[in-house]
């Protein structure tokens, strides 16, 4: 039984859980009284006499079926990429623990979830495991399970993914001079564009004289493997970006932006990095490079956030925190020199 809480009026109120309806949703009833003990007594008495089935809630099928219902309920309102991600998670969970997925969704316990998370943690990165756990929690809640998870998850790892520096970008563009990936790399590094935005971009999106790009197209991959150009999936995704004029001149000279699909772009870029660089970095890290340079030059976080299409500055702060390990001494000396001048 829940504990009664005191209201601003001085009365005490308690909400009692009395079962689930036919749709698997929790049913609660509120009781208010002049004292804490009386409110809790009224609630306990009602639960004992209520006709709602508390001990045997409606069966909702297996967890696998619950995952399918959960995904289908969002199929027409989420981005295709998110849908593909959900289906991939469902496939991973079924492969990792078939018994868990076959179990009735309302009979799943905290121990069941913990065992599954332990298995996932043996093969997947902590961030991926946490994402899977979030999906499991959402499916349970959507299915009407009263279980609220308190799972022990892998500890978060400090994000030390390598971000390319100036020398890396210059070397990369020298290797790609006149090749298909040259312009996509420039757009990612100097314009902070995502791969789908680059592949979906049209020549009409570019103001060649001012170097301004209007980001209003995004190429996405459907679960069946086909690609489609849509508007950006978030409000922040639609934006304008200013790039150096040498970028727009290169595009105008070529006559098109790129002919490769997002997946091909990623694969080809990875092959080039693996063959020519000691430190590995992804195509997406070029976008982080562009953001970190702007921040290093003193551009306010909010301006970089808007131009890069991020929904918050949190990611930018994480990027900047480890983007320039070679400049750590410079940053430290700035503060020291300031205080030296202050006291001189």
pLDDT at 28: 72
Mean pLDDT of 106-115: 95
**pLDDT, position 321:** 67
Q: What is the pLDDT of residues 168-220, one digit of tens each?
A: 999 999 999 999 999 999 999 999 999 999 999 999 999 999 999 999 999 98
CA distance 197 to 237: 9
Confidence of residue 35 (pLDDT cuts 50, 70, 90): confident
Strands (E), 34-178: none
For residue 3, name the pLDDT band (cuts at 50, 70, 90): confident
DSSP string, 94-121: HHH-HHHHHSBGGG--HHHHHHHHHHHH
Q: How sure is the predictor about 317, in pLDDT bands with cuts at 50, 70 and 90?
A: confident
- In this prediction, residue 52 carries a pLDDT of 43
At a CB cut-off of 8 Å and minimum separation 6, what does 266 contact?
A: 195, 282, 283
Question: What is the number of residues in the chain?
Answer: 344
50: confidence class by pLDDT, cuts 50, 70, 90: low
- CB atoms under 10 Å from CB of 234, counted, come to 12
When the pLDDT of each residue in the chain is averaged and rounded to a whole number, the result is: 85
> Could you give the angle at the alpha carbon of 198 between the alpha carbons of 194 and 201, nearest 5°?
135
Q: pTM for the full model?
A: 0.62
Mean pLDDT in residue range 136-147: 92
């Amino acid at each position: 039984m829940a504990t009664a809480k005191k209201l601003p009026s001085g009365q005490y109120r308690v909400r009692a859980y009395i079962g689930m309806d036919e749709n698997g949703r929790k049913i609660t009833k509120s009781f208010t009284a002049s004292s804490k003990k009386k409110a809790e007594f009224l609630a306990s008495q009602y639960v004992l006499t209520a006709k709602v089935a508390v001990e045997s809630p409606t069966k909702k099928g297996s967890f696998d079926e619950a995952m399918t219902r959960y995904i289908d309920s969002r199929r027409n309102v989420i981005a295709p990429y998110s849908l593909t991600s959900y289906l991939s998670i469902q496939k991973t969970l079924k492969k990792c623990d078939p018994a868990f997925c076959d179990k009735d969704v309302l009979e799943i316990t905290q121990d069941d979830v913990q065992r599954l998370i332990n298995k996932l943690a043996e093969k997947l990165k902590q961030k991926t495991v946490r994402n899977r756990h979030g999906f499991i929690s959402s499916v349970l809640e959507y299915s009407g399970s009263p279980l609220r998870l308190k799972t022990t998850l892998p500890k978060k790892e400090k994000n030390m993914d390598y971000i390319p520096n100036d020398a890396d970008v210059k070397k990369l563009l020298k290797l790609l001079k006149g090749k298909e990936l040259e312009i996509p790399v420039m757009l990612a590094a100097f314009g902070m564009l995502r791969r789908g935005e680059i592949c979906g971009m049209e020549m009409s999106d570019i103001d060649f004289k001012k170097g301004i790009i209007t980001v209003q197209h995004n190429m996405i991959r459907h679960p069946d493997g086909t690609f489609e150009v849509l508007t950006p999936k978030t409000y922040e995704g639609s934006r304008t970006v200013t790039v150096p004029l040498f970028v727009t001149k290169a595009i105008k000279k070529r006559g098109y932006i790129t002919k490769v699909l997002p997946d091909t772009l990623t694969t080809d870029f990875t092959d080039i990095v693996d063959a020519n660089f000691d430190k590995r970095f992804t195509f997406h890290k070029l976008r982080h490079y562009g953001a970190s340079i702007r921040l290093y030059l003193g551009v306010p976080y909010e301006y970089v956030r808007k131009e890069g299409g991020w929904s918050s500055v949190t990611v930018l702060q994480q990027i900047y925190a480890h983007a320039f390990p070679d400049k750590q001494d410079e940053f430290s000396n700035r503060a020291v020199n300031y205080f030296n001048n202050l006291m001189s």
